[in-house]
Structure 1
Amino acid sequence: MASDSEIPGGPRDVARILVDSPLPQLDRLFDYAVPPELAREVSQGVRVKVPLRTAGRVLEGFVIELDEEDDADRPLSEIESVVSEAVVLPDRLFRVARAVADRAAGSAVDVLRLAMPRRMVRAEKAWLAGPPADAPVIASDARASVSACLDRHPELTDALAQGARVAVDAPPGVSNGLPEWTMTLAAAATHTLAHGASAIVAVPDHRDLDLLDARLRTLVPDAAIVRHDAQQSGPERYANFLRTLEDAPCIVIGNRSAVYAPVSQPGLIALWDDGDSLFEEPLSPYVHARDAALVRQSLDGGALMFCGYTRTTDVERLVGIGFVRDIPARRRASPRVVLGAPQDSPQTGRIPSAAFRSVREAIDSGPVLVQVARPGYAPSLVCAECRSPARCLPCGGPLFAPARGATPTCGWCGRGAMRWVCAHCESTRVRLASSGSERTADELGRAFPGVRVIVADGAHPVQEVDDMPSLVVATRGAEPLAPGGYRAVLLLDGDRMLQAPDLRIGEACLRWWSNAAALAAPGATVHLVGVTGPVARALATWSQPAYARAELAERAPLHMPPVARVARVDGDTPQVEEALRKLRDDVPELASDAVLGPVPLEDVSGRRRSRALVRFDYARGSAVAASLRASVVQAAMKARSRKPRQKSASGRSRAPANTLAVRLDVVDPEL
């Protein structure tokens, strides 16, 4: 006797599939019939292969929903095969991906590519065959350490229990050979794990990840720590992702993509130093980890914690409107910061005399940190006569000095400028216009003979230095950890850092200087050289939230981020103009000055290209994103419907590619 699904006109099983395709017009669910022979294998969240008639090929996809319909006469393609019985896309992960993509006018598949590592068959089979993970047990001494740490922030324990959104100022300093901030985050994560929920902690880079990992292993069992790390092998990354799908709680630590970890009971999502540019996703749909965490917390609940030495204007805006709660420390701790004007002399070079004496006194008891702006010896050269920037004659690139007495080298083409002549005054001599980490180390080595000098930058990574006397010259963000803290900290090139053409450069400099100052030993002096004004005062008084509030007040009249959201639209001029017209029709509430531009861009293949910025309130975010996304889809469909005019490398014709691109929440808008 035939089953109901085999009876003509009877009910049949239908699966709604999200096709794994980068095409924006395919960012929706497609109905496919479930053949009877696959009925037991097809379940929500599994990978399948389905035919796509418009593409004429078979693609992978994910089963999002299962349903039964009576209209069996509706023509539907059938699922071709089930890739694996592993449920790798639970509904909680798809909801987050869909919400994040909708907020950023992007595709859910693009978000899932960030959240899900590449499938590894052996790792998946081992996970399916293995037993489920056990719930971790927290030792009593670890619970005591956690309670002592959380007592420094008396409101934090209640906030974690209530699932609140909080901003926590991290205490500066080093304890037990690790920064204090690692204990604050590890205590919050361990407290969450002890109450039967999972915690997700995202940090900017692998150095912070190693420090947090080391701290957590002193509090929780190793099996409870799941690490999402781009430096791991493919099978290890995929195995760790599969572990987060299980019901047993865990602590997930990783970089920006860790905020998508599909743990079943999220009790805490925490971000350390959310102002770091590494939290900005460079891949479509370009969602900042902070925004993804906010979206996920609104869907899944649990606590959300922003922790850092400084406060970004984005978080301070949320604090100002009451969306995030400010959690002050019970006792305020701050480094001793001294502001000083630069003083050049043959003896001290770029270091003021007061700072020079402080370094000389501190060097006998341990390491001293010197932060500089750029790596290398002399990152830029100028003409010795007219002070014009020295440029490479063949390509026009900037010249730099790779070492003392070395031939100037082009930063673009790498050629040596053996016979350089200034294009303005015809001088043949160059002058060092700036000092990098290596030149600073050379100067300090002559000023402090017999003292060990250590260079720490991108070319010379150093994770940790001992407590022996030394001068550590580091670029911003590359400062090694001193287990006992630095006996003095010297912040150079501050005036040069502040000159960068960046809307948030003051905020960024305050974060770089605060992170370096926090590595000082108790009672050590921090010298900020050559900087005055609000940024310097905020560092000296350790009042970073107040500086963020002042920055917000200055940006409010200009409607610049994060006071308002900004979208960037670029592409062929007709497409950009059409997208802006559609946006005006779809969102008539936009202000008259909401659109800046469009302005022409450099021609590509003879096409006229333009770029425009759109400023809008947060309340209009959903409508603006939906309108711009619709324009991208429409442009993509028009591009595919045109007669093919291009040929691929294989000689096959293909339709012109869509050139309309949209990016929301631009951090530093520029036309």
Structure 2
Amino acid sequence: MASASIARVLVDSPLPQLDRLFDYRVPEELRELAVPGVRVRVPLRSAGRVADGFLIELVDSGDYTGVLSDLESVVSPIQVLTPETYAVARRAADRAAGSATDIVRLAVPGRQVRVEKAWLTAGEAPSLPPVVAQKLEFYPLGVLESAVVDGHRLAVDAVPLVAELADNVWVGQWAVTMAAAAALSLEAGKSAILAVPDYRDQEQLMAALHAVLPPDRVVRMDARQSNPDRYRAFLRCLGPTPLAIVGNRSVVYAPAPKLGLIAVWDDGDPLHGEPLSPYVHTRDAALVRQEQQNCALLFVGHSRSTEVERLVELGFLTSVSPVPAIRPRVIPSAQQTSTDRLAAQARIPSIAWREAKAALEHGPVLVQVARPGYAPRLACVDCGQSARCLVCEGPLGQKSARSTPACGWCGALAVDWKCDNCEGERLRFVGATAGRTAEDLGRAFPGVRVIIADGERPILTVGPEPALIIATRGAEPIAAGGYRAVLLLDGERMVARESLRVGEDCLRWWSNATALAARGAPTVLVGVGGALASALATWRQAAYASAELADRRRLRFPPAVRVATLTGALDAVTGALGTLAVAPEDILGPVDTEPGSVRTIVRFDYAAGQAVAAALRAEVIRNATSRRRAAAVKGPRPPLPPSLRVRFDDVEPFAQ
């Protein structure tokens, strides 16, 4: 029975002013159930209602000197919010000037009563046989092994190959490496958390884990699961048995008291960025948790993000590469010309056509394109003006060669379309996508099977038979034995995207596709030259990331410095800026974003991060409480001003 009589509770509320621990008296009848980590219900006197929350700790005395309210109830006896998870949530939220409750909401799935009852009645799990670790291939002897056992931090260059598991199952070699590292952690009696961007990577990693670990030692947690399945997997992680826990970005908060390893695959993928406040990236949460639990940390990827490169150059991470170095055969191709007949017919230059033709005699060929669909945009044949919908002025597109053009906004069919500039009635395609590429290549390679893989047609694997696989970036299937050739099209279109990360994004897309090729198979990069093509051809992605980081240091762009984006009413943003000790040249803005709202970007060094985050968090709370007082005024009142919003480490404003 707990002797402490005061419970400190984190209230589940989106209001920033409630993001702290509240003291409640523990009534006698709840003394045995009220333990740290359980779900509770507590009264909110000011709001006159009962709220959900989590009991964080029990103390003998608190800061509040008045009469404490009693806990309303203990919802469940299961300690779902572990001390480790709360510590990571609190630290990551403070770093991003956000609320810990927003992170806890991601870390702890919603309660499922039936699942919970079944878990409580099941009793203790039976003892499992010990795990026997597998040898880590392709890397210097003992480097990865000692890193996992001793809790080191590494930036691991993935091996650009595919590997065969049992029963003719093929995965990327990176998945085999991460699975072997997880087995090492479990052999030492500690859990491993493995974070990947999406379900495609997750399927490969699950297959690799099942090849080296018993099924009972692997747990999957991701957004594609049903609520009961996700909660059931979460409850499994609360037990004492060391597990390999696999999932997308929120898996980094999974409960694992004895944590031996955190491994993040492809941290540069935007899917690792949390779209909800406080927008904590998987990489940042992993760094915080590694520091708190002193476990091993691996960032694995074919291409290196500038954030990881910065940590390598600081000496915080140690770079590890395969030995001997494995370099795919990459052939940069010059820009397509109007005199190249094949380029005009099939959007590929002659050298790419020759490599594809030779490769199709032995197996599948991957063709990576920038966009899905058939025709992304239509234009007037006579004047070249973009074709717009006659109903809503939206852009017209076409899903197939025989379909009727339709509006991309309202869906209206352009049956009697007429150009509003020259009154022309004929349309032409502008740009090319997966559908048109498949049609063009089908004509260039008659009799060859053509398969399209994109978001609407997800394909995870293909066989070793000859075929043309037209895939959008990130949707490339795994081919049995690897692709006999890889063609990277639309490079100039990808590079033309406006983003601070465009270079490292393109290099990551191309590197991941190149790594799907069989050993020695050619990869042809079409229409791109310069540093990007050189980095891919020489397989020196880390050198490109280092050069990119050096450029950002000169310009004081992230991640060389940290940034905070402030959005809201002009007076709120100005008031928040007045609390910061930053140089005037590091304040960019304000600029208008929408009626009544402006945006300002603040740059600051990493050493000032804690002070800046604390000051901006205080301003967010002050702004929220002032809005609440304005809303409580009786009678007619003007609309509330935009709230002050703060987002840390967002690089997209620099692309505009």
Q: What is the TM-score when the length of structure 2 is the normalising length?
A: 0.94
**Does the 8 Å contact 2:138/2:322 carry over to 1?**
no
- 3-state SS, counterpart of residue 334 of structure 1: coil
1:268 aligns with 2:261: yes
Alpha-carbon separation, structure 2, partners of 1:188 and 1:387: 56
- For the 8 Å contact 1:567–1:663, the answer to whether it is kept is yes
| Distance in 1 between residues matched to 2:639 and 2:24, nearest whole Å | 27
Aligned partner of residue 30 in structure 1, secondary structure: strand
- Greater Cα shift, 196-205 or 60-69: 60-69
Q: Name the structure 1 match of 2:185.
A: 192
Distance (whole Å) between structure 1 residues aligned to residue 8 and residue 558 of structure 2: 38
Q: Summarize the alignment of residues 201-280 of structure 1 with structure 2, pairs less than 5 Å apart.
A: 201-280=194-273
1:167 Cα deviation after fit: 0.4
State the 1:237 CA deviation.
0.9
Aligned twin of 2:104: 112
Greater mean alpha carbon deviation, residues 183-192 or residues 594-603: 594-603
Stretch of structure 1 that moved more, 481-490 or 131-140: 131-140
Counterpart of 2:158 (choices 161, 170, 185) is 170
Bigger drift between 222-231 and 119-128 goes to: 119-128
The residue number in structure 1 matching 2:309 is 316
Give 1:486 deviation, angstroms.
0.5
Amino acid at match of 1:155: V
Distance 2:516 2:140 in 1: 19
- Residue-by-residue CA offset, 1:121-170 (whole Å, 9 max, x unaligned): 12122222223335643565xx3xx2142755642112222211100011
Change beyond 3 A, Cα 1:152–1:175: farther
Counterpart contact for 2:156–2:321, Cα < 8 Å: yes
Q: Quick one: which amino acid aligns to residue 162 of structure 1?
A: D
Instruction: Kindly provide the CA deviation profile for residues 58-79 of structure 1, in whole angstroms up to 9, marking residues without a partner as x.
Output: 0111111211139997311111
1:425 Cα offset (Å): 3.7
Would the alpha carbon gap of residues 136 and 561 (structure 1) be closer, same or farther in structure 2, given more than 3 Å must change? Answer: farther
2:554 is aligned with 1:554: no
Tell whether the 8 Å contact from 1:100 to 1:292 is kept in structure 2 after alignment. yes
8 A contact 1:409–1:416 mirrored in 2: yes
| Structure 1 residue 250, shift from structure 2 partner | 0.7
Matched, 1:443 2:478: no
1:459 aligned counterpart, secondary structure:
coil
1:295 equivalent in structure 2: 288
2:167 alignment counterpart: none
| Pairs within 5 Å for 1:49-198 | 49-69=41-61, 74-134=66-126, 136-138=128-130, 143=133, 146-149=134-137, 151=139, 154-176=142-164, 177-198=170-191
Distance 1:533 1:523, change over 3 A: same
Report deviation, 1:582.
Answer: 2.3
1:665 and 2:653 equivalent? no
2:525 matches 1:528: yes
1:390 aligned onto 2:394: no
Q: Determine the C-alpha separation between the residues in 2 that align with 1:423 and 1:479.
A: 40
Shift of 1:630: 0.7
Partners of 2:425 and 2:202 in 1: how far apart?
49
CA shift, 1:350, in A, is 1.3
Q: Name the % identity.
A: 52
Please, what TM-score do these two structures have when normalized by structure 1? Answer: 0.92
Q: 1:552 to 1:293 in 2, by over 3 A?
A: same
Distance, in Å, in 1 between the alignment partners of 2:161 and 2:465 is 18
Q: CA deviation at 1:312?
A: 0.4
Q: Of residues 22, 28, 42 in structure 2, which corresponds to 1:30?
A: 22
Shift of 1:429: 2.5
Q: Which residue of 2 aligns with 1:340?
A: 333
Cα distance in 2, alignment partners of residues 432 and 262 from structure 1: 52
Structure 1 equivalent of residue 278 of structure 2: 285
Deviation at 1:523, TM superposition (A): 1.4
SS in structure 2 opposite 1:240?
Answer: helix
CA shift for structure 1 position 579: 1.4
Question: In structure 2, what is the Cα distance between the partners aligned to 1:23 and 1:197?
Answer: 37
Consecutive unaligned residues in structure 2, runs of 5 or more = 165-169
Give 1:421 deviation, angstroms. 3.2
Shift in Å, 1:357: 1.1
**CA distances 1:2-27 after superposition (whole Å, capped 9, x unpaired):** xxx9xxxxx97111111111110000
| Distance in 2 (alpha carbons) for counterparts of 1:413 and 1:174 | 43
One of 381, 385, 398 as aligned partner of 1:401: 398
* Counterpart residue number, 1:620: 608
Q: Distance in 1 between matches of 2:260 and 2:528?
A: 42
> Does the 8 Å contact 1:274/1:306 carry over to 2?
yes
Alignment of 1:508-657 (within 5 A): 508-583=505-580, 588=581, 590-603=582-595, 608-644=596-632, 656=640
Q: 89-98 or 65-74, which moves further after superposition?
A: 65-74
Which one of the candidate residues 452, 464, 469 is aligned to 1:467? 464
Structure 1 Cα separation of the partners of residues 178 and 258 of structure 2: 18
**What is the one-letter code of the residue matched to 1:129?**
T
Q: 2:8·2:22 contact (CA, 8 Å) conserved in 1?
A: yes
* Contact 1:644/1:656 (<8 A) preserved: no
Task: Report if aligned partners of 1:153, 1:328 keep a CA contact under 8 Å in 2.
Answer: no
**What is the identity, as a one-letter code, of the residue corresponding to 1:625?**
A
How many angstroms does 1:472 deviate by? 0.6
Label 1:15 to 1:623 Cα distance change in 2 as closer, same or farther (>3 A).
same
Secondary structure of the residue aligned to 1:521 is coil
Deviates more, 1:408-417 or 1:545-554: 408-417
1:110–1:658 Cα change, 3 Å? farther
In structure 1, distance between residues paired with 2:259 and 2:600: 39
Corresponding residue number in structure 2 for 1:8: none
Give structure 1 regions of 4+ aligned residues with deviation exceeding 6 angstroms: 70-73, 652-655
Q: Per the alignment, in what secondary structure is the counterpart of residue 53 of structure 2? A: strand
Q: Distance in 2 between matches of 1:99 and 1:154?
A: 33
Look up the match of 1:477: 474
In the alignment, structure 1 residue 45 sits paired with structure 2 residue 37:
yes
Please list the CA deviations of residues 147-194 of structure 1 after superposition, one character each: whole Å capped at 9, or x if unmatched.
142755642112222211100011011111221111010011111111
- Give the RMSD, CA atoms, in angstroms: 2.2
Alpha-carbon shift at residue 386 of structure 1 (Å): 3.3
Partner of 2:5, secondary structure, is strand
Which residue in the other structure is 1:363 paired with? 360
Seen in structure 2, the aligned counterparts of structure 1 residues 73 and 629 have a Cα distance that, compared at 3 Å, is closer
Gaps spanning 5+ residues in structure 1: where?
A: 6-10
What CA deviation, in whole Å up to 9, does each residue of 1:481-518 have, x standing for no partner?
A: 10111011111110011001111111101111111111
